[in-house]
Amino acid sequence: MPAPTKIISESIYFDGHYIGVNKTLVGHTPDNTTFLIKDGDRKILHAIDILHPDQLEFRNFSLAQDPIVFQNDLETLMSMDWDVMVTGHNNLGYKEDVKFLQDYIADIREYLGRGFSKSNFSDYIKGDLPYAWFDGYKVEVIEFAHKLLAKKYRKGREEEFDIVGKTHVEVFYWAMFTR
């Protein structure tokens, strides 16, 4: 692959259109770059793999490397000035889609918080294998949160929820458990 001949820092004009460059939305991957294209009154955000409108996110929130950074990226998206988002592998996105995902994650975190409060880690400290302690506790907390999430989000999207729902809960389980 040839080396780039020009590095775009903040923005560029291309064919009379302003294109802003944002390299701070890195929750999906550290090299994720988004572009804000202004065409007259239209503001089009080109942001690949951050969200997938009209469906639940892929497994583990599109393999987000850091779910907390991913969640912060959603806040950044809401604060940016854009009208429509080109999301890459899916439909066009709007701020309502970002809000749906924020609410979904907030519910996951709330349900996990309830699961942490309800479950007693000391009940799992048995035997000589610490991995078993953590696994039993993890399963209880995730199952608790997943059941609550299913009550709210599964209807009408059963197949996709059954495939990805638990991965979403587990991603935030580890983020909350380790921080």
pTM over 0.85: yes
- Spans of all domains in the chain: 11-177
Give CA–CA dist 105/168, Å, rounded: 8
Interhelix angle 158-177/67-79, rounded to 10 degrees, is 110
Contact indicator for 93, 78 with CB cutoff of 8 Å: no
pLDDT at 1 (0 to 100): 62
Return all residues near 93 (Cβ < 8 A) that are at least 6 apart.
Answer: 47, 51, 53, 84, 85, 86, 87
Residue 110 confidence (pLDDT)? 99
**Nearest-angstrom CA–CA distance, 66 and 155:** 28
Name the residue among 38, 34, 32, 25 with its Cα closest to residue 70: 25
pLDDT tens for the 179 residues of the chain, in order: 677 677 667 888 888 888 888 888 877 777 788 899 998 899 999 998 889 999 999 889 888 888 999 999 999 999 999 999 999 888 999 999 999 999 999 999 999 999 999 999 999 888 888 788 889 999 999 999 999 999 999 999 999 999 999 999 999 999 999 87
In the structure encoding, which two tokens stand for residue 31, read together?
Answer: 């090299």
**Geometric angle at alpha carbon 81, from 79 and 86, rounded to 5°:** 100
Helix (H, G, I), strand (E, B) or coil at 55: coil
Alpha-carbon distance of 63 to 19, in angstroms, equals: 27
Q: How many helices, marked H, and strands, marked E, lie in the chain?
A: 5, 5
Name the strand (E) or helix (H) holding 158: helix 158-177
| Contact assessment for residue 21 and residue 10, using Cβ atoms and an 8 Å cutoff | yes
Q: Select from 117, 118, 148, 123 the least CA-distant residue to 135.
A: 123
pLDDT of residue 45: 96
